[in-house]
Amino acid sequence: MAKILIAGAGGAPSEGVIYSLLKNPNNEVIGMGSEPTDLILSLAKKKYFVPYANEPEYKDSLLKILNLEKPDLVHFQNDLEIYHASLIRDEIISTGAKVFMPEHSVIDTCVHKHKSYLAFLDAGVKVPRNIEINNVKDLRLAFKELADDNGKIWLRASSIGGGGKGALPTSDFSLAKAWIDHYAGWGDFVAAEMLTARTVTWLSIWNQGKLVVAQARARQGWTHGNRAISGVTGVTKVGATVSDEAVTEIAMNSVMAVSGKPHGIFGVDMAYDKNGVPNPTEINISRFFTTVRFFTEAGINFPEIFKSIALNQQYATPENLVNPLDTSLLWVRGMDVAPRLVTAETIRTEILFL
């Protein structure tokens, strides 16, 4: 029996992990989170409320739960909590709980997008040019040097946060300035050359520098993307398994750019440029993406492998460590409906097209 404490319980990113872990009846999952109305929805056996990770009371609340429940492993599923928990990892480990994370410097690089951009650039990985926006002069420079044929640049916040935080594609200088003003984002925002809407993610688990398993997944649209000014919500509508040597090579190079000895979870998000080359936009560090249940249902249980490595348990890995899943699989999601694992043939068979 293994007892695992999962943070962010009730939220979609964590519930995919909890669902996957509960596929093994020998796992007991305890949940904690900062939103009671999320927690109440969790599959976790017990559910504890904790303050947000950047609040002063968070540390004492977390350690109290750890000392009370004595879990074998604790895992975090959002950048803010990963960052702050990493800072107190020695105190977490002192309670007897294990963590499976890279060193804090790697986490710091990955949760701050401009730092990871600089790491990619230094390693020779192809990335769209970025400019830090510290003042209006920088913003004017960005429009002058980064704009595409339509005059557009891509703005986003560099600080900790997912879901396309602060993202805005625009050709309007006044709108861009007002947008940064609204977010109080001077010194935090970066501007970048525009990439295409075509994206792919490469999820991987590493153990002391050795790749354990990796699988690529293309994204076919964002849920409610038409309701976000950027078109990006961070919530995949349809995921599709893919296998592409170029994606694998670029993802591997991106991981090595931020860590000489990768350890834990590295999820490389990439967007294709106009020449069809995947460019890394960020690495989701030490956490699984929201649709990790996709891979579990398809036959590769990443959270179970992760847990087994962390607790020195036996685990099975596929014969092919990279892209072991069939490339015909689709994971279809919607709001308040159960997701489905299907193929294009399933859609053609079940739906009537007149």
List, for residues 83-104, the tens digit of each pLDDT value. Answer: 999 999 999 999 999 999 999 9
Read off the tokens for 70: 């004595």
Domains (range + CATH), the chain: 2-99 (3.40.50.20), 129-192 (3.30.1490), 199-350 (3.30.470.20)
**Average pLDDT of span 34-48:** 97
**Average pLDDT of span 175-202:** 95
**Which stretches of the chain are DSSP H helices?**
12-21, 36-39, 58-69, 79-87, 89-94, 104-111, 113-122, 136-146, 173-182, 245-258, 292-298, 302-310, 344-350
For the whole model, what pTM was predicted?
0.92
Read off the tokens for 218: 């293309």
Distance, in Å, from the CA atom of 127 to the CA atom of 57, rounded to the nearest integer, reads 39
Find out whether 236 and 224 touch, Cβ atoms under 8 Å: no
CA-atom Rg of the chain in angstroms:
20
Neighbours of 206 (CB within 10 A): 21
pLDDT for 257-269, tens place per residue? 999 999 999 999 9
Length of the chain: 354
**Residue 203 pLDDT greater than 60, yes or no:** yes
More confident residue, 40 or 328: 40
Report which residue type is found at 144. K
Position 232 scores a pLDDT of 46
Identify the DSSP state of 236: B
Cβ neighbours for 298, distance < 8 A, ≥ 6 positions apart: 241, 325, 326, 329, 331, 341
Distance, in Å, from the CA atom of 44 to the CA atom of 244, rounded to the nearest integer, reads 36
Distance, in Å, from the CA atom of 156 to the CA atom of 154, rounded to the nearest integer, reads 7
Position 230 scores a pLDDT of 44
Identify the DSSP state of 227: G
Distance, in Å, from the CA atom of 345 to the CA atom of 132, rounded to the nearest integer, reads 46
Position 224 scores a pLDDT of 44
Find out whether 46 and 31 touch, Cβ atoms under 8 Å: yes
Read off the tokens for 87: 């800072």
More confident residue, 232 or 332: 332
Distance, in Å, from the CA atom of 216 to the CA atom of 325, rounded to the nearest integer, reads 9
Report which residue type is found at 294. F
Distance of CA 110 to the CA centre of its chain: 10
Distance, in Å, from the CA atom of 281 to the CA atom of 154, rounded to the nearest integer, reads 12
Read off the tokens for 155: 């703005």
Strand ranges of the sheet holding 189-192, from the earlier edge strand across to the other edge: 130-132, 189-192, 153-157, 168-170
Dihedral sign computed on CA atoms, order 233, 253, 203, 159: negative
